[in-house]
Amino acid sequence: MKPGRLTGAEGMICKDILFDEIKAVCPAEKDAPMSQHTTFRTGGPADVLAAPRNAEELLKLLAVCESAGVRCCVLGKGSNVLVKDEGFRGVIVVPGGDFCRIEMQGDVIRAGSAATLSELYLFALKYSVGGFERLAGIPGTVGGAVRMNAGAYDSEIADVIVACTYVENGRIVTAPKELLELSYRHSIFCDSEKRVIISADFRLPEPGRDPDEIRAVFRDYSARRAASQPLSLPSAGSTFKRPEGHHASKLIDGCGLKGYTFGGAGVSEKHAGFIVNNGNATSGDVLHVIEHVRQVVFDRTGVRLETEVEIL
Ligand SMILES: Cc1cc2nc3c(=O)[nH]c(=O)nc-3n(C[C@H](O)[C@H](O)[C@H](O)COP(=O)(O)OP(=O)(O)OC[C@H]3O[C@@H](n4cnc5c(N)ncnc54)[C@H](O)[C@@H]3O)c2cc1C
């Protein structure tokens, strides 16, 4: 396989060859509709979706993509991405199998990149370890959360992670937290799609806590989410990053954009920071709403909103 082979008639043949090569490595699907793999429930097909079950399969898969010169992007729960209607030209990697494991390793909890934050919270709870209850409502995986340094209610991944193991240039590397450059919705993983997280180690932030008290805190924050966020509609959470010195949702609300709609997408009536799929939105509709909101907010306030949601 040579670079750039996934376009035109020749591209169709090459897509088949690439698919066969990937299928020999791990479970895979051709022309996978990304609306089924993102929480926005929009987006066209990915050429190939591959699901490696362990580090060995992941390394082989990345090597196949590298030698084919094909773009490769890892997804967790797709809760912070918008895939365009044209779909994704390349390979979407959705780790499964061993990547879902969570285990106690000495004095750390090691979680695979495909484990969810709510599973991490429940695992810690079994050992009477608190510290994850405010992150548990974020509907993503450990991989996605580390990449985004996800956070909520004054708690973020950077507070609890101690190290991360990932693939870079065909090698497995473990880096301590200090080298991960974790800051507001940023990490070294944002700088290169080629770094793929395998697992993360978390310190036991608050051992020996009363499980009932941990559960009560979790319920409290879940209730706050349910009260303030449009959880019954597909979205990717807060669409925009928090601009320095401002709150995106307050700026959007202040510009009278709550409830603004285009096609099937709109600014949530419940939380102006969320753009939601009201039922039959395309990614184009969502992008239109994003651009409209950015333009109006800039014209009226001079603040440029940047998307937190990643557009593929
Ligand atoms: C209702 C709702 C509420 C939300 N609330 C919050 C909140 O309170 N706080 C918050 O921070 N976010 C929130 N989000 C956004 C989202 O859940 C987080 O950003 C989450 O961390 C994304 O995880 P994911 O597994 O879905 O990642 P994805 O959306 O699948 O991917 C996000 C990014 O991470 C990369 N990535 C995923 N896995 C890996 C891996 N193994 N290795 C390398 N890169 C990887 C992807 O390539 C992509 O660039 C919310 C979303 C929704 C829908």
pLDDT in tens, 147-185: 999 999 999 999 999 999 999 999 999 999 999 999 999
* DSSP 3-state of 99: helix
Query: Are residues 200 and 105 located together in one domain of the fold?
Result: yes
For residue 59, count other CB atoms closer than 10 A to its CB: 18
Query: Are residues 105 and 207 located together in one domain of the fold?
Result: yes
Q: Whose CA is nearest to atom 14 of ligand 1?
A: 237
39, 80, 164, 271: which to mutate for ligand 1, most atoms within 8 A of CB? 80
Query: Are residues 204 and 273 located together in one domain of the fold?
Result: no
Domain termination residue (choose one: 94, 120, 154): 94
Does the residue 265 lie in any domain? Answer: yes
pLDDT tens digits, 74-117? 999 999 999 999 999 999 999 999 999 999 998 899 999 999 99
CATH of the domain at 123: 3.30.465.10
CATH of the domain at 263: 3.90.78.10
Does the residue 82 lie in any domain? Answer: yes
Nearest in space to 182 (alpha carbons), one of 226, 141, 148, 137: 148
Mean pLDDT across the stretch 64-75? 94
Nearest in space to 71 (alpha carbons), one of 158, 131, 6, 168: 6
Does the residue 118 lie in any domain? Answer: yes
Query: Are residues 247 and 154 located together in one domain of the fold?
Result: no
Q: How confident is the model at residue 12 (pLDDT cuts 50, 70, 90)?
A: low
CATH of the domain at 27: 3.30.43.10
Mean pLDDT across the stretch 236-260? 96
- Concerning whether 238 is annotated as a catalytic residue, the answer is yes
Mean pLDDT across the stretch 138-152? 97
Contact 242, 248 (CB under 8 A): yes
Query: Are residues 76 and 117 located together in one domain of the fold?
Result: no
Query: Are residues 115 and 196 located together in one domain of the fold?
Result: yes
CB of 143 sitting under 6 A from ligand 1: yes
- Has residue 9 got a pLDDT over 70? no
Query: Are residues 81 and 131 located together in one domain of the fold?
Result: no
Domain count, the chain: 3
Question: Which residue among the candidates 199, 238, 249, 283 is catalytic per the annotation?
Answer: 238
Does the residue 284 lie in any domain? Answer: yes
Domain termination residue (choose one: 153, 177, 212): 212
Buried b (16+ CB within 10 A) or exposed e, 136-168: bbbbbbbbbbbbbbbbbeebbbbbbbebbbbbe
Contacts (Cβ under 8 Å, ≥6 apart) of 31: 45, 46, 47, 87
82, 138, 307: which to mutate for ligand 1, most atoms within 8 A of CB? 138
β-sheet with 274-277: strand ranges across = 235-238, 274-277, 265-267, 261-262
Q: Whose CA is nearest to atom 20 of ligand 1?
A: 140
Per DSSP bridges, beta strands 45-50 and 81-82 are unpaired
- Has residue 72 got a pLDDT over 80? yes
- Has residue 4 got a pLDDT over 80? no
Separation CA 221–CA 307 (nearest Å): 25
CA geometry: angle 223, 229, 231, nearest 5 deg: 90
Does the residue 70 lie in any domain? Answer: yes
Domain termination residue (choose one: 61, 94, 127): 94
Residue 10, pLDDT score: 58
Separation CA 71–CA 73 (nearest Å): 7
Query: Are residues 134 and 206 located together in one domain of the fold?
Result: yes
Name the residue range of residue 206's domain: 99-212
Does the residue 192 lie in any domain? Answer: yes
Does the residue 2 lie in any domain? Answer: no
Query: Are residues 82 and 27 located together in one domain of the fold?
Result: yes
Residue 183, pLDDT score: 96
Does the residue 55 lie in any domain? Answer: yes
Q: What is the DSSP letter of 95?
A: -
CB of 197 sitting under 6 A from ligand 1: yes
pTM above 0.85, yes or no: yes
Rounded distance from Cα 310 to ligand 1 centre (Å) = 9
- Concerning whether 300 is annotated as a catalytic residue, the answer is no
